[in-house]
Copies of this chain bind each other. A is one copy, B any other.
Amino acid sequence: MSNNGENMENPINKNEKGKQSFIAEARREQIIEAAIQTLDEIGYVKTSLSQIAKRAGISTGLISYHFSDKNDLMNHLLMNLLESSTNYILEKVRKEDTPKKKLNTFIMASLAYQGIYHARNIALIEIIFNARTPDNIPYYKLADSDDKDPLMDELYQILRDGQEKGEFRAFNVDVMANMIQGAISEYMLSAITKKVDLETYSDELIDIVGIATK
């Protein structure tokens, strides 16, 4: 089999092949969920196909059957994780109408996601900081490269929009966006978790960013 990440959905011809694809798709989903659980529990370094297989209750060979490679699996998993967090946050942000409200919602939703989908977030961190492309480039250097990351895109848009509408002062958008993203990510990556709860952090960060953007 082996699927390079392209979605080969085809609305027509959903007979036998569709059924098989459906089973295969479900298996892949199951494997991906097991991989998330594994990364959360034992971390990237110790995550082997057999550890994932154990958690999925299947044989190792079956993972190799459904993903061409360990790398292939990790890529699919990364897409999956990025998609789900992006969808969660963007859905909430797009319900708001002013740049200020959108920005606050962006921060709030980003942090809320970390709390609600804790395991997925840990898995995401473990992949981003450990996996590398075949060209040996770490994902953390690649992640929001160019305009590939719709989340950072949205944040840029909000900030630019707020400046145009006179809601925000004139700051460097790239730096401000990066600072906000850093402040959000840092919550998961530091020991502040033990001192400040997510809600307080969210409120205070919105406050600080409110002042910084004017």
Of B141, B191, B193, B200, which one neighbours A172 at CB under 8 angstroms?
B200
Of B42, B143, B191, B200, which one neighbours A136 at CB under 8 angstroms?
B42
CB of A166 within 8 Å of the partner chain:
no
In angstroms, Cα B178 to Cα A45, docked, is 27
The segment from A2-10, A24-32, A88-96, A204-212 found at the interface with B is A204-212
CB of A44 within 8 Å of the partner chain:
yes
Q: Assess the B175–A196 pair: CB atoms within 8 A.
A: yes
Of B132, B144, B191, B201, which one neighbours A142 at CB under 8 angstroms?
B191
Q: What count of chain A residues pass the 8 Å CB interface test? A: 53
Name which residue of chain B comes closest to A188, CB basis: B140
CB of A182 within 8 Å of the partner chain:
yes
In angstroms, Cα B196 to Cα A148, docked, is 17
Describe A's contact surface by its main secondary structure: helix
Shortest CB-to-CB span from A157 to chain B, Å, is: 16
Query: Do A45 and B130 form a contact, CB below 8 Å, given A183-B182, A194-B145?
Result: yes
In angstroms, Cα B131 to Cα A42, docked, is 10
CB of A101 within 8 Å of the partner chain:
no
A186 — which chain B residues lie within 8 A by C-beta?
Answer: 178-179, 181-182, 185-186
Known A45-B132, A175-B204; further 4 A-B contacts with Cβ < 8 A: A141-B191, A178-B187, A179-B182, A179-B183
Chain A residues in contact with chain B, CB under 8 A?
A: 41-46, 125-126, 129-132, 136, 138, 140-146, 171-172, 174-176, 178-179, 181-187, 189-196, 200-201, 204-205, 207-209, 211-212, 214
The 4 closest A-B pairs by CB, nearest first: A182-B186, A182-B182, A129-B129, A179-B183
Would you list 18 pairs from A and B whose C-beta atoms are within 8 A, ordered by A residue? A42-B136, A44-B130, A125-B129, A141-B189, A144-B191, A171-B208, A175-B201, A175-B204, A175-B208, A176-B208, A178-B183, A178-B190, A178-B201, A179-B179, A181-B190, A185-B185, A185-B186, A209-B212
